[in-house]
Amino acid sequence: MSQVQSAAKQVDAVVVGAGFAGMYGIQRLREKGLKVQGFEAGHSVGGTWYWNRYPGARVDSQAYIYQYWFSDELIKEWDWSERFPAQPETEKYLNHVADKFEIRKDFQFETKVEAAKWDDGAKRWTVTTDKGDVVSAQFLLMSTGGLSAPLVPPFKHHEKFKGQIIHTGRWPKEGVDFAGKKVGVIGTGATGIQVVQTIAPQVGQLTVYQRTANYTIPMRNPKYDDADRAGLKAGAKAMHKRVNSTFAGFDYDWQATDLMAMNPEAREAQLNEWFADGSLGFWIGSIQGVLMDESINAVFSDFVKRKIRARVHDPKVADLLVPDDHGFGTRRVPLETKYYEAFNQPNVKLVSVKKTPIVEFTERGIRTTEGEQELDIVIFATGFDAGTGALTRVDVRGEGGQSLRDDWNQHGIHTTMGLQVHGYPNMFMTMAPYSPAAAFCNVPTCLQQQVDWIADCVDYVRKTGKQAIQPGAEIENNWLAHHDEVANLTLVPKTNSWYMGSNVEGKPRRLLAYAGGAQNYRAVCDDLKAKQYQGFEIA
Ligand code: NA7
């Protein structure tokens, strides 16, 4: 053991991040008898649902599939208020879980992990934090979130602006008063859309800076009554089984409908029926051809464009809000509520930064090629360095002192099923690239599956008296080849978005999420476990 390690606090596993996955990681690893130490930068649990407290933040998955399955008692006692709960409710749920299962006692909050270094001799990780902690652990679980490293584009003279600048992913706990204010929102992804539709009725004046128009689906969000809740709770077991068996971890799945064989009226009626569900079911619960076949995709794209256009009064504004450079569903499809109606308000202005780019920030606001707009507050809804950002912002050093950041920069991002990386023994990840969890999944479904697999793998290593496990180079290369093959069967790589890493300058362009289906991914993971991690190096 090195000197650093002997002086360090000794645990079996360090868990980084107290979001959905990290909390469950603590729970599962404890059950396996491990002594765990969690670290979380926020001052409480929640992860995404702690940081993203911007106005309008809300899940796009139905409440009763956006939860933990490990405790029947928890399912029975927790009452969701509506189909798509807002951020405070999900945060409250996660706090309730943390209290009930005493998750907090194993977490140190307001503490950022700065570095994690693998010791080849001791076969342990040394984890250091910004608070001076040094912890030695056999296993490291990086449950750092797939959408948790905020991106702030380098706008010229950003620092000159005298007003307030806020990134949605770092929203102030005390809230923001918009009354009478001139507000600018940059970005119109799932987040920007939620912000705009929520603050449009509150602000003095709103200017929305849009680069790419997105396809959307109107959210249908009924409140649940006691009878709804009782029914959903009674069906929880079946629902759990169902979400584990579908392509994207939702309760809906691809249908066998032959849309293209229908006459135009029947086709329109079918599309309307899917659309009316008011969920992502129109996208990933319709037909798989929407993601695979250009002509089917064009039918969906045309349908949604017509729906958008019909809601916007000014045809020139509608022209800007209708996507013109990609097909439906090839980037994340946000659910919206009265988003388009916001642009019918006289105090809301849409600026296409494709047509009139942002030149610079000024003391008073933002200057585009069209002129200066005075602003009191600028909201950056500019997204995240998805999949990798939270991992590479920590100085992770694997075998031989290899830096994960440099490794991925030099050799491209590589993982085995988003669970481990060759060269980084005993480091496990959730929501990392090349698993469905990275994007194509109802996140809690895939996170729980990943954490279960990780806990079993760790348990296997311990029970067999071994010290370390990592994927071999061959299995990793095979997974990447399979990942690429499946990705290229879809239309997604044709479009730029965080799915492809193209929102981050210099990031290698490759589909972040495994597109072969969450249920198939689960089967591959189960098979690996059954075959005692064949293809992995266990020492
Ligand atoms: P997204 O989906 O990455 O959206 C970010 C938005 O910010 C998007 O409209 C971007 O335009 C825009 N953006 C980014 N940089 C710039 C610059 N420099 N200038 C103008 N506009 C810019 O992030 P979200 O937070 O909305 O959503 C992330 C996920 O969280 C979401 O998919 C859900 O899964 C939950 P672009 O489209 O790149 O042209």
Q: What is the pLDDT of residues 312-349, one digit of tens each?
A: 999 999 999 999 999 999 999 999 999 999 999 999 99
Residue 514, classed as helix, strand or coil, is coil
153 lines ligand 1 (CB under 6 A): yes
Q: What is the pLDDT of residues 487-518, one digit of tens each?
A: 999 999 999 999 999 999 999 899 999 999 99
Ligand 1 atom closest to Cα of residue 382: 7
Is 432's pLDDT higher than 70? yes
Amino acid occupying residue 39: F
Cβ atoms of 335 and 84 within 8 Å: the answer is: yes
For residue 208, the CA-to-ligand 1 centroid distance in Å is 13
Burial 170-188 (b: 16+ CB within 10 A, else e): ebeeeebebeebbbbbbbb
Pick the residue whose CA is nearest to atom 33 on ligand 1.
190
122 lines ligand 1 (CB under 6 A): no
Q: Comparing C-alpha atoms, which of 330, 525, 395, 502 is closest to residue 447?
A: 525
Is 2's pLDDT higher than 90? no
- Our mutation pick for probing the ligand 1 site, out of 51, 147, 191, 361, counting the most ligand atoms within 8 A of Cβ, is 191
Are β-strands 164-167 and 377-380 bridged in parallel, bridged antiparallel, or unpaired?
parallel
Spatial CB neighbours of 423, under 8 Å, sequence gap ≥ 6: 398, 399, 402, 407, 470
Cβ atoms of 351 and 207 within 8 Å: the answer is: yes
User: Mean pLDDT over all residues of the chain?
Assistant: 97
Handedness of CA 185, 191, 193, 197 (dihedral sign): negative
φ, ψ for residue 69, nearest 5 deg:
-110, -5
For residue 191, the CA-to-ligand 1 centroid distance in Å is 8
Tokens for 31? Answer: 């059950």
Q: What is the pLDDT of residues 31-56, one digit of tens each?
A: 999 999 999 999 999 999 999 999 99
Q: What is the pLDDT of residues 196-231, one digit of tens each?
A: 999 999 999 999 999 999 999 999 999 999 999 999
492 lines ligand 1 (CB under 6 A): no
Residue 207, classed as helix, strand or coil, is strand
Q: Which helix (H) or strand (E) holds 185?
A: strand 182-186
326 lines ligand 1 (CB under 6 A): no
The mean pLDDT of 378-407, rounded to a whole number, is 98
**In the chain, how many H helices and how many E strands?**
19, 20
Q: What is the pLDDT of residues 158-173, one digit of tens each?
A: 999 999 999 999 999 9
87 lines ligand 1 (CB under 6 A): no
Q: How many CB atoms are located within 10 Å of the residue 208 CB?
A: 27
Is 6's pLDDT higher than 90? no
Is 1's pLDDT higher than 90? no
158 lines ligand 1 (CB under 6 A): no
Burial 431-457 (b: 16+ CB within 10 A, else e): bbbbbbbbbbbbbbbbbbbbbbbbbbb
Ligand 1 atom closest to Cα of residue 439: 34
pLDDT at residue number 7 = 82
Pick the residue whose CA is nearest to atom 16 on ligand 1.
382
Q: Which helix (H) or strand (E) holds 360?
A: strand 358-361
Dihedral (Cα; 97, 98, 99, 104), 10-degree rounding: 170
